[in-house]
Structure 1
Amino acid sequence: MPPTSLALRSQAIGRLLPTVVLAASFVASAVGAAMALPWLLVGAAAVGLATELVVHRWLKQTLARLGRLRVDATLRQVLRDLLLVVGVVRTAGAEHEGGWTALLLGLLAVYGLHFVSQGAAILVRRTRTLPFVTRNIDTSGLKLTAAPPALLLRRPGHRLLSFGLPATAGLIATVAADETAWALAGIGVSLVLSLAGIVRLAVHLLPRRRALNEERALAWLDEWLAAYGPTTGMYFSGGASSAYQANMWLEPLAALPGRPIIILRERFMVQKIAATDLPVLCLPKVAHLMRIEQSTLKSLVHPSNSGKTSQVLRMPGIKHAFINHGESDKLSSCNPYAKAYDEVWVAGPAARERYALADVGVEDKDIVEIGRPQLKGIDTVAPGGSVTTVLYAPTWEGWDGQPGNTSVIEAGENIVRRLLADPKVRLLYKPHPMTGSVDPRAGAANERIQELIRAANGGRAAAKDPKDKGAAELERLAAELDRLTAADYREGSDEMERMLVQGTPSGGRDKAVDEATRRWEDAYWASLPEDAHQIITGPRPALYSCFNQADVLISDVSSVVSDYLASGKPYAVANTAGVSETQFRTDFPTVRAATILTPDAAQVPELLAAARDASRDGFAQARGELKRYLLGPDEPSAQSRFARAVEALSAKALEREERQLAREGTSTLVPSQADRAAAARATVAEGEEERDFAADALAGSEPDSLERTGD
């Protein structure tokens, strides 16, 4: 059996083993209880409890899998304790009948308090859930507080296991020693822990511990929007794995003049956005989202389409531009949905022509060429060296099932074998992070490719005996970068607490992260043996850093090719679509200056020769022309074109507002931002007064006496 298959099978067995052990412990416990075999019941229950602790501490995937099977932690704990109670009854004498009754009642009280605690946790979570989520915004006016321990607030299975552990351990001891005192003592400890947890949660239900309610919180939001006065923003909605689509636009957005803002729709996405000093505002509900139209915000850019995009497009007072998260020749780069936006911003003339040919309803007058501001850091000079560095960066298989989306399945192994056969080649393999998520064949091929690379490294002297090239410095820089990019909140904090600690940043964090990233990448590449192949599957080093290390790129029809053209270096594209080379070049303009690889990768030697000898590079001039066609001119810079496009789009929104006011004949029908802010402040102040009065009444004291105590 191949090593990859053995590894996959071992991983599958490892994932299944804890579930098997838990199931076996319950079966053995049932047999021990039914047949009055204390040694079997005690051993099985102890093994099951130990496995449960291990699963809760380290095996989160196993917990999720058991949950999907409807065998959650509560059910498992109830069954474990029930079998132990049966064992106590079966193995103890009749003279202990009074003890059984106390034991059973005490155990029922433990579970009763568990469900009371769960109800209290739900109430606390509701009071701590605001209608919006923020980051990089001063939220002191919302009266936010730190969260109770996550064990109490959001982890009922962990809580039951932790607080019920003394009771379960006492039951095990009782079965083993035939003495109910052990069980009663354990139950007593569990009752005390449960009561303490309930009291701890109840404190957060007191009026003074609560944040503003929805109405007052929204009034505070109106006031903040009025004070900040956003001019433009980026709107984003998507799944957890799509955050990169927004993150790639953070730096260009932050470099804009004015006061940019990021608008999100999913609560979890607030923490997925990379390091930035820009204010982040998440508005999950449509009704609350509509409030941004009453602010000074005049334009929004959209790096992706989503189901929730249509909700914000209904705001006529804000102009919208689709900026995409990457351009390629795929159908997704000329989606008919784009016609819903006021403008579509593209990199260069190629995308303009792509929309014209697709005939999806996007008019040419609404297309604006801005280039790709993200590409400013890509080097245009090959690194050179004694080896030729080849970056193989295939894309994933995609959702549409189109043949040729990815080269990994049909051509990946052939490409890698031919590259590894050349002793003067260093291969950087960076597959798309979603490879294999749709087609298992792609995932299997990806594993085989990595095995080939690891095996090839085993035969290289530099790879077998690498020299220390500043490993300590690399480790130090990695720690610094981790510190800058790590979450600046404690583990176990909830949404409200993160809003509290992630208030207005000191400024410059995004620039510090960029500088630390650059230093780490420089140290990383310098630390590697010159001819050692590399498998890069994590977020570091980034794709553009790999571009700068490569002499040549091999990829598929994707935005990777368009972005790499900014370097001007040779590249190849795999043709696994089942069409001729002529048709392939006609269908996909981004490959016009590429070496086309057939599934057998026979053209790899030709590609390497062109990378090593400029006189054999027949596509050099074509690449320059294609670069301007795809990405636009070098001057003015893409960032300046982006800024001008934002300014022009916002101006259109202002012109529309002026026309609306002119038609109405008066501006008094539209409340000014100052009026809205004043009304918001009054609402917040009124709400705080009501809340303080309620707290005073609950405490049974006069308001001024409470103030004097500093409560």
Structure 2
Amino acid sequence: MRAARPGGTALKALITAVLAGVFATQATAALLPNAPLLIAATVAALAVEGILYRWQPGMLSLFAKAHADITVRHVLRDLLLVVGLLRLAEQGREAQYTPLVAGLLLFYALHCAIQAVSILVRRTRTLPVLTRNIDASALRLSPAPAALLRRPGYRLLVLGLPTTVGLAATAMSREPLPAAAGIALSLVLAAAGLGALLMRLLPSRRPAGEQEVLDWFDAWLADYRPTVGLYFSGGVSSAYQANMWLETMSRLGERPVVILRERFMVARIAPTDIPVVCLPKVSTLMRLEHSTLQVLIHPSNSGKTSQVLRIPTIKHAFVNHGESDKLSSCNPYAKAYDEVWVAGPEARERYARAEVGIEDKDVVEIGRPQLGAVHPRSGPPAADARTTVLYAPTWEGWDGNPGNTSVIAAGENLVQALLADPDVRLLYKPHPLTGSVVPAAGAADLRIRDLIRAANQERSRSHSAPSPSSPSPSPAERARAASELDRLTAELDRLTATGSRADADQMERMLAQGAPPPGRAEAVAQATAAWEEAYWASLPQAEHQIVTDVRPALYACFNVADLLISDVSSVISDFLASGKPYAVANTSGLPEEAFRAAFPTVAAATVLTPDASGVPALLEAVRHPEKDELVEARGVLKLRLLGPDEPTSQQRCNMALRDLSTAALNHGARMAQTQMQPETQPQEQPQRERQVQPRRLAEDLLPGPRRESDAGAGAGVEVGADAGAPVTPPSRSVPPV
């Protein structure tokens, strides 16, 4: 949760005070009675409600927690109008308002009935399985009811508006006709809404029931026959952890599937052609045990991970969503997986140093397949060109360690030092979770953004010209670039659109996001590359940028940056693929020598102190490569962190998957053989035969040439070997080919 901007709390207090004031005024006017004041207070109350729904929706939940939700406020508003009418009525004419009160009560009864039926409709539309990129038309999916019928507060406000207006008009004219007309209109609208919802409960209009959906899902699994899955569970802001592995999954040469656990996460997974299924219930998740899935890849740990680890027919590999020297990169939870796939030798040694129980034979080096999108350094920056510096700090973490992020202690100093250099263009890309744990980090992030905006305004006022080697584009060229960016944005939005309304529910989105058209993934990749090129071309060369949207991605920022400044995180490990200089802010309180010793990823970095005094010398080394003394160190560190360039990381990932899939098949074959054997086996059966037979069965099940040894977990007996002789288990690291 981002830290609140100054004045946010004061604004909420002001709105609350105004709302309480208009209700108090309305009550006073009803009791006096004073018709003009009563009408003015009613209009003011409706205006405040509109402001809440339009600009302050978060306050609606706060009022609801205080038992002052829209229903209570609406009933109170109409009740005060009725009290005012009774007080304003002439002696003996109070009875003429009795039908109005009866109609008002009937309207609220219809409102409650609509809410009850809408809950029933919502339950029929809440399926046990959600999908994307799968044709689920057999489940009789349908568009969602109108948002007006699904949102009780908004519904009451809109449908009850004629009643409130009619009562206010009657208070002014002392004639019951306006109130009667308003109540009648509200009753007609409410009855129509109730009828529309009831129609959806008819058997012919209802979607498939739970058992029918589960049977359909089993049939889809049997037809698609997935072999590898990406399993992910997390919070609203954590979808990036899964998204970074989507392209790698699509290149595995298998039948992949993305398995999610939270319903909201389905919409947050990036555009992909891989089938996506969400299985919220454990009982539904366990149906995977009888599928063809062999391997699940896990980019993060979560409480729900333990649930899928109970499936014995699937092997599990932990790949993490990034590697760094932090303790989170060698979490003891990794012991729960069959294998831990890491980038390079340093990660293997990190697990050994941490002594968290990860055996070396279970660690497989695959590199970082995602880094194919990072362009290697093509040469030093042009002599007179602006130096593009990417400042990408990480977040504060859960443990409160001041060394986790530089934003609090050093961020403003670093940014001020960079902005002070007229030949620097700064790209600021904070971590999306910044400020979610420590409010001071969120506040510092906001101050940094203000510094960058102020610097851009200053450059604009001073008409700062770009360097001679990169002249400023003319207004016509800028206009053409902006027009091209708009066109590409529209094209990319079209390719990645969900095909459903903004207020669609999950079933409607599931209906709209069926089987993708052929070639969509390739079209999205090409459109994204073209968009990124147009994006950077459209920006003023002298203007600093705050990059917080999904586009451009972090790796796109890598490709245009000459220098990275970051913290101890996976960002610096990934940036090494470019071969460009990088710096790390030391906010840990350790001396530089101890800081480098504690964090091996800093070995080839320039270490900056919190006061940012080293920034000028750092920029000088970037602009004059002959002064860069860390070139060779970066090459050595890249090999340690990311592994060799050949075979490619994608090839090594494919090999690791193939070996673990083989282990899963062999394990399944042994278990099947065990279940087929009688409970009591003859004692005279040779030991060697009992060990070799399951392996032969597994080899018969495997496609392709017969393997000489089992790469699975616990395998250590080669075909034809003497069963009595000890055999060393094969290494699980993927060897070069």
**TM-score strictly above 0.5:** yes
Task: Report the Cα offset of residue 666 of structure 1.
Answer: 6.1
Contact 1:462 1:532 in 2 (8 A): no
Give the residue type in structure 1 aligned to 2:180. Answer: L
Q: Which residue of 1 aligns with 2:694?
A: none
Q: Any idea what SS the aligned residue of 2:458 has?
A: coil
* Partners of 1:554 and 1:574 within 8 A in 2: yes
* Alpha-carbon shift at residue 408 of structure 1 (Å): 1.1
Give how far 1:8 is off.
3.9
> What is the CA-CA distance between 1:27 and the residue it aligns to?
1.3
1:426 aligns with 2:425: yes
| Cα deviation digits, residues 5-52 of structure 1 (max 9, x gap) | 9x9445554455443332221111111112101111100101111221
Match of 1:515 in 2: 526
Q: Does 1:402 align with 2:401?
A: yes
- Residue of structure 2 in register with 1:172 after alignment: 168
Paired amino acid for 1:440: P
Q: Find 1:267's aligned residue among 263, 266, 272.
A: 263
> How much does 1:459 deviate?
3.0
Asked if 1:115 is matched to 2:112, the reply is yes
1:99 equivalent in structure 2: 96
- Residue in 2 aligned with 1:579? 590
The 3 A distance-change label for structure 1 pair 461 and 41 is closer
Partner residue in 1 for 2:627: 616
The answer to whether the Cα contact below 8 Å between 1:462 and 1:530 also exists between their aligned partners in 2 is no
Partner of 2:496: 485
Contact 1:568–1:623 under 8 Å retained in 2: yes
Residue equivalent to 1:202? 198
Task: Please list, as runs of the form range in 1=range in 2, the aligned pairs for 1:151-230 lying within 5 A after superposition.
Answer: 151-152=148-149, 154-230=150-226
Instruction: Name the residue aligned to 1:308.
Output: 304
- Aligned counterpart, 1:691: none
- Deviation per CA, 1:157-190, whole angstroms, max 9, x where unpaired? 1111111111111111111111111111111111
Moved more, 263-272 or 66-75: 66-75
Counterpart of 2:505, as a letter, is D
2:662 paired residue number: 651
Check whether the contact 2:323–2:569 (CA below 8 A) recurs between aligned residues: yes
* 2:246 paired with 1:250: yes
Match of 2:83 among 45, 64, 86: 86
Give the corresponding residue for 1:550.
Answer: 561
1:473 deviates by 1.3
Out of 233, 236, 255, the residue aligned to residue 232 of structure 2 is 236
Q: Is 139-148 or 227-236 further displaced after alignment?
A: 139-148
- Letter paired with 2:292: T
Alignment of 1:32-43 (within 5 A): 32-43=29-40
The match for 1:675 is none
**Which stretch shows the higher mean deviation, 180-189 or 429-438?**
429-438
Alignment partners' CA distance in 2, 1:332 and 1:38: 66
Residue number in structure 2 paired with 1:367? 363
Provide runs of 4+ in structure 1 moved above 4 Å: 10-17, 461-467
What is the 5 A alignment of 1:522-671? 522-665=533-676
Distance in 1 separating the partners of 2:141 and 2:460: 59
Structure with a larger share of its residues in helix: 1
1:557-596 Cα deviation digits (max 9, x unpaired): 1111111011111110000101111110011010000000
Residues 76 and 396 (structure 1 numbering): CA distance in 2 closer, same or farther, change over 3 Å?
same
Quick one: which amino acid aligns to residue 293 of structure 1? E
CA contact (8 A) 2:82 2:167 kept: yes
CA distance in 2, matches of 1:529, 1:500: 42
Equivalent of 1:319, from 315, 318, 331?
315
Q: Which residue of 1 aligns with 2:70?
A: 73
**135, 143, 147: which one aligns with 2:132:** 135
Shift of 1:645: 1.2
Instruction: Please state whether the residue corresponding to 2:143 is helix, strand or coil.
Output: coil
CA distance in 2: counterparts of 1:462 and 1:618, whole angstroms: 38
After superposing the two structures, state which structure 1 stretch, 548-557 or 641-650, moved more.
641-650
The within-5 A match list for 1:37-52 is: 37-52=34-49
Q: Indicate conservation of the 8 Å contact 2:225/2:255, yes or no.
A: yes
Alpha-carbon distance in structure 2 between the residues aligned to 1:291 and 1:306: 20
1:530 offset after TM fit, Å? 2.0
Query: Amino acid of the residue matched to residue 519 of structure 2?
Result: G
What is the percentage of aligned positions where both structures have the same residue?
A: 60
Match of 1:279 in 2: 275
Which residue of structure 2 lines up, in the alignment, with residue 437 of structure 1? 436
CA change 1:383–1:493 in 2 (3 A) is: farther
Deviates more, 1:10-19 or 1:490-499: 10-19
The 2-side partners of 1:455 and 1:534 are apart by 12
- Alpha-carbon separation, structure 2, partners of 1:129 and 1:537: 33
Distance 2:87 2:520 in 1: 65
The one-letter code sitting in structure 2 at the alignment partner of 1:59 is: Q
Is 1:383–1:549's contact at 8 Å kept on the other side of the alignment?
A: no
Letter in 2 for 1:213: G
1:378 and 1:544 in contact (8 A); partners too: yes
Partner Cα separation in structure 2 for residue 268 and residue 10 of structure 1: 31
Q: Which residue identity is paired with 1:36?
A: P
Asked if the contact 2:498/2:513 (under 8 Å) is kept, the reply is no
Does the C-alpha gap of structure 1 residues 327 and 111 become closer, same or farther in structure 2, counting only changes over 3 Å?
same
Task: List per-residue Cα deviations over 1:524-547 (Å, max 9, x = no partner).
Answer: 111222222222222222111111
- Does the CA-based 8 Å contact 2:135-2:515 persist in structure 1? yes
Note if 1:455 corresponds to 2:451.
no
1:432 to 1:185, Cα distance in 2 relative to 1, 3 A: same
Q: Distance in 2 between matches of 1:625 and 1:197?
A: 69
Q: Shift of the alpha carbon at 1:268?
A: 0.9
Moved more, 351-360 or 64-73: 64-73
Give CA deviations for 1:143-163 in whole Å, capped at 9, x if unaligned. 2222221221x3011111111
Change (3 A) 1:417 1:494: closer
Q: Give 3-state SS (helix, strand or coil) of 2:24's partner.
A: helix
Q: Secondary structure at the match of 1:207?
A: coil
SS in 2 for 1:314: coil
Unmatched tracts of structure 1, length 5 or more: 668-711
TM-score after normalising by structure 1 = 0.90
Q: CA deviation at 1:455?
A: 2.2
Contact 2:380 2:623 survives alignment (8 Å)? no
Task: Summarize deviations over 1:280-330 as a string: whole Å, max 9, x none.
Answer: 111111011100110111110000000000000001100000010011111
Q: 1:502 aligns with which of 500, 513, 517?
A: 513
Query: Are the equivalent residues in 1 in contact too, given 2:498–2:512 (CA < 8 A)?
Result: no
Note if 1:354 corresponds to 2:350: yes
CA distance in 2, matches of 1:159, 1:289: 36
SS in 2 for 1:281: strand
Distance in 1 separating the partners of 2:6 and 2:569: 33
3-state SS of paired residue (2:584): strand
Q: Which residue identity is paired with 1:98?
A: A
Report the alpha carbon displacement of residue 56 of structure 1 after superposing the two structures with TM: 2.0
* Between 527-536 and 341-350, the greater mean CA deviation after superposition: 527-536
Supply the AA of the counterpart residue of 1:19.
T
2:414 matches 1:415: yes
